[in-house]
Amino acid sequence: MEDKFIIGGKELSSRLFIGTGKFPSNRIIPQVIKSSAAHVVTVALRRIDFDSKEENMLNHIPKDCILMPNTSGARNADEAVRIAKIARAAGCGNWIKIEVISDNKYLLPDNFETIKATEMLAKDGFVVLPYMSPDLMAAKRLKDAGASAVMPLGAPIGTNKGLKTKELVKILIDEIDLPVIVDAGLGRPSEATEAMEMGAAAVLVNTAIATSDDPISMAEAFGLAVIAGRKAYLSGAGAVKEFAEASSPLTGFLGA
């Protein structure tokens, strides 16, 4: 069965997106990308060391990947917009993951400012993927604002707690006519599978891969987990039936 995954007019070969922060060395990034088979890679623009050949993250990302710079460090919509424009001017393409965070205690995104930034950047020709708290109204507004996908968090960034927002993310999957990409909080491959089985279009993983003892192997594990979850979803798994269907003891008297 054909299962195309298209965002911003591009067909993506993998439903695992990966983040590039927190790794013990940038030099292993190419192997991490290879073993995970990821196609979309996110990089914090503010972290890119353009002056250093060795430390410049961009030099470690294979050319066939889609670079998705993120606006990490932005505290409001205007800052996010400025970062996105700098990224595009620096040759990082027109994809942008919006992260607007003004809460350093929990690192939870500011949906309101994120919607504003999405609107401005989508109008300006960016392919906008906003990181958000899973809220239905906010997701609808992001769609109206021109987002190409929505990226709700599974749990607060870096907590590795898994799909704690499951019920809310499920609502987004059911109600929002955009790819829903679960971002942040997934700590194990099984949790990535869970998100995919539920119908998420993709997942983004960083901490769980970067801080494992063997990031290259863990990246592969996540790659496989995402494939497994997607296959299960397409196969109709997860339809747990609460009531039997075979007979109709209560309504049988009504006849066929």
Partner 1 sequence: MSFYQKYLEYRDFDFEQFHNKLTDDYILSIINKDRINELDFLALLSDKAGEYLEIMAQKSKKLTLQHFGKVIFLYTPIYVANHCVNQCIYCGFNISNNIVRKKLTMDEVEKEAKIISDTGLKHILLLTGESRIHSPVDYIKDCVMILKKYFTSIAIEIYTLETDEYRELVEAGVDGFTMYQEVYNEDIYKELHLKGPKRNYINRIDTPERACMAGMRSVNIGALLGLDDWIREAFLTGLHADYLQNKYPDTEISVSVPRIRPHNGEFQPKVNVDDKSLVQIMLAFRLFMPRAGITISTRESSEFRDNLIGLGVTKMSAGSSTEVGGHALDSKSEGQFDISDTRNVEQMKDLIYSKGYQPVFKDWQEI
Residues that bind partner 1 (CB under 8 A): 21-26, 44, 46-49, 51-52, 55, 73-75, 79, 82-83, 86, 102-107, 158-160, 207, 210-211
Q: Are 148 and 128 in contact (CB under 8 A)?
A: yes
Partners of residue 128 on adjacent β-strands: 96
Of 22 and 123, nearer to partner 1 (C-beta) is 22
Of 103 and 174, nearer to partner 1 (C-beta) is 103
Residue 193 CA to residue 29 CA, distance in Å, equals 23
Partners of residue 96 on adjacent β-strands: 128
* Of the candidates 229, 162, 158, 224, the residue with the CA atom closest to the CA atom of residue 193: 229
Q: How near is the Cβ of 198 to partner 1 at its closest, in Å? A: 24
Q: How near is the Cβ of 240 to partner 1 at its closest, in Å? A: 30
Of 9 and 24, nearer to partner 1 (C-beta) is 24
Which one of the listed residues 10, 53, 63, 97 is annotated catalytic?
Answer: 97
Is the four-CA dihedral 6, 12, 13, 17 of positive or negative sign? negative
Question: Could you report how far apart the first and last alpha carbons of the chain are, in Å?
Answer: 35
Q: How near is the Cβ of 7 to partner 1 at its closest, in Å? A: 25
For 186-231, strand residue ranges (E) read 202-205
Residue 112 CA to residue 176 CA, distance in Å, equals 18
Of 18 and 150, nearer to partner 1 (C-beta) is 18
Residue 104 CA to residue 94 CA, distance in Å, equals 28
Q: How near is the Cβ of 56 to partner 1 at its closest, in Å? A: 9
Q: In the annotation, is 97 catalytic?
A: yes
- Residue numbers annotated as active site: 97
